[in-house]
Amino acid sequence: MPVLKTFKGGIHPAEYKDLTQQAPIRVAKVPSRVIIPLQQHTGAPCEPLVAKGDKVRAGQKIGDTKAFVSAPVHASISGTVSNIAKHPHPLGQESLAIFIDSDGEDGWMEGIGSRREYSALSPQELRDIIREAGIVGMGGAAFPTHVKLTPPSDKKIDLVLLNGVECEPYLTSDHRIMVERPAEVAEGLRLIMKILGVPRAIVGIERNKPDAIGALQREFSTEPSIEVVEMKVKYPQGSEKQLIKVLAHREVPSGGLPFDIGVVVQNVGTALAIYEAIALDKPLVERVITLSGDAIAHPSNLLVRIGTPLQDLVEECGGMLGEVGKVVVGGPMMGLAQYSFSIPVVKGTSGVLILSEDQAEMVEEGPCIRCGRCLAVCPMRLSPSLMADAVKSKDIDSAEACHLLDCMECGSCAFVCPAKRHMVQWIKYGKNEIAAKRQKK
């Protein structure tokens, strides 16, 4: 099988995947309390459908909104609503959340897990099921899946890409899903193709996952319309625009979306969730995450209930080793450092890293030496240093003219910078300033 050429730019950070890539998925203990944020997705936040003191069952819808770009949330355990209040969110801000104390029974809503005959359902009926199940993109962006599967009428979609790359160091949850549940992932992809009316799909997987490549090749061995492609190992190979460039030989225009060039991209974890929602009537109340790092006793891949506090996961994996320097939700390149172990797992949580002080060492940034390394590795062909300088100088118009909004914040520039400049932080700040300026207008 030929290996495709990769995109220009990018980096090769140490992978650290050996800590968990052979670790089968374990089912984590049902937590004694969950904290369910009412916004775990791009778009409008949900409103609570329950009140303090209400009894709930696992799988019960507890938050929703009439907004199209949104996704409902569900109870992940059975028990009593003990509070509805603001709580720290993995994205950094506080968010309104529903607290549920377990009753110890783990009782589920009737019908969840029952097989459903879905072959005769229409694309719109399938979309409605996905929406009611609260499914969002599980590769990190958390965009509501029913919206992504409803392209504008003037956009002709002819290709689906299934993202099994998982290029972030440490993370192996998608890898284990493909190895352990390839039939369900494959059926999820077929359902995506049916909803969109698309005749062709490509599954992209980096070549450091040969067992996953083999598992999905076997699933599609009699389906010539679905191709499994081995990709070179490079970060950020799994980014949506880079994946499209490499697999489809198409380029998303600046400010555009994959819709504009006839492509829809979905993550393998999302495909699994789609299958479970449609075939088993199961809402998105749990997901596979990687818990890893050099400061955790037993790095693992865990099937975790949404809303589980990070502290529970640390205990599940044998506790911490020595002094912890940093806790990161997500991967080390694009994840966010956390300040509390009470932060809950949300739908977009792909991993949690517990890093020692040595691994988490912070270096003071120095002045730019104009070496050009950030330009060479930027997968979007931008000038990260110029954008960061413009933002630091409060020249937001110049930063925007440098296509700051096209930056995907992958961190490749900061990784190679000999001056250790905090370019991603400045770019994030600049994006917030642009958004505030537009809102004011």
DSSP structure class, residue 106: -
Is the Cβ–Cβ distance between 160 and 200 less than 8 Å?
A: yes
Output the pLDDT for position 211. 98
pLDDT for the residue 379 = 95
Neighbours of 24 (CB within 10 A): 10
Provide mean pLDDT across the span 240-256. Answer: 93
Q: What is the C-alpha separation between 388 and 396, in angstroms, rounded?
A: 10
Q: What DSSP designation does 136 have?
A: B
Mean pLDDT of 109-127: 95
Give the integer Cα–Cα distance in Å for 221 and 216.
Answer: 8
Instruction: Give the pLDDT confidence score for residue 358 in this predicted structure.
Output: 81
Q: What is the pLDDT of residues 352-381, one digit of tens each?
A: 999 998 877 667 889 999 999 999 999 999
Would you list the domain boundaries of the chain?
17-21+131-280, 373-440
- pTM for this model (two decimals): 0.95
Alpha-carbon distance 297 to 1, whole Å? 39
N-to-C CA span, the chain: 53
Residue 60: which H helix or E strand, with range?
none
- At residue 441, does pLDDT exceed 90? no
Instruction: Report yes or no: 295 and 355 within 8 Å, Cβ to Cβ.
Output: yes
CA proximity to 388, closest of 362, 359, 420: 420
Phi-psi region of 371 (alpha: psi -120 to 50; beta: other; left: phi over 0): alpha
**Phi/psi class of residue 170: alpha, beta or left (left: φ > 0; alpha: ψ in -120 to 50)?**
left
What sign does the CA torsion over 60, 65, 66, 70 have?
A: negative
How many Å apart are CA 348 and CA 206, to the nearest integer?
A: 21
Q: Does the domain spanning 17-21+131-280 belong to CATH 3.40.50.11540?
A: yes
Give residue 323's pLDDT. 87
Percent of the chain with pLDDT over 70: 98
User: For residue 414, what pLDDT is reported?
Assistant: 93
- Above 70 in pLDDT, residue 4? no
Please provide the average confidence, as pLDDT, over all residues in the chain: 94
Q: Tell me which residue has tokens 């537009």.
A: 438
Contacts 24+ apart (CB under 8 A), 218-226: 218/182, 219/182, 219/183, 219/185, 219/186, 220/186, 225/199, 225/200, 225/201, 226/189, 226/200, 226/201, 226/202
Residue 435 has pLDDT above 90, yes or no: no
Instruction: Name which residue leads in pLDDT, 93 or 344.
Output: 344
Position 180 scores a pLDDT of: 98
What confidence score (pLDDT) does residue 322 get?
85
DSSP string, 230-270: EE---BTTTSHHHHHHHHH---PPTT--GGGGTEEEEEHHH
Burial class (CB in 10 A: 0-12, 13-18, 19+), 26: middle
- Note the pLDDT of residue 5: 66
Q: What is the pLDDT of residues 12-56, one digit of tens each?
A: 999 999 999 999 999 999 999 999 999 999 899 999 999 999 999
C-alpha distances out from residue 50 to 99, 103, 203, 266, 346, Å: 11, 17, 40, 32, 19
Mean pLDDT of 251-270: 94
| 314, 320 contact by CB (below 8 A) | yes
Average pLDDT of the segment spanning 188-192 = 98
Contact criterion met (CB below 8 Å) for 62 and 48 = yes
Count CB neighbours of 256 within 10 A. Answer: 12
Residue that the structure tokens 């039939």 belong to: 183
Q: Quote the pLDDT of residue 6.
A: 84
Confidence of residue 192 (pLDDT cuts 50, 70, 90): very high
pLDDT exceeds cutoff 70 at 167: yes
pLDDT of 1 strictly over 60: no
Does the pLDDT of residue 391 top 80, yes or no?
A: yes
Neighbours of 170 (CB within 10 A): 30
In this prediction, residues 174-187 reach a mean pLDDT of 98
Residue 222 neighbours by CB under 8 Å, 6+ apart: none
pLDDT band (50, 70, 90) for residue 2: low
Using pLDDT thresholds of 50, 70 and 90, give the confidence band for residue 436.
confident
Query: What is d(CA 109, CA 86) in angstroms, rounded to the nearest whole number?
Result: 27
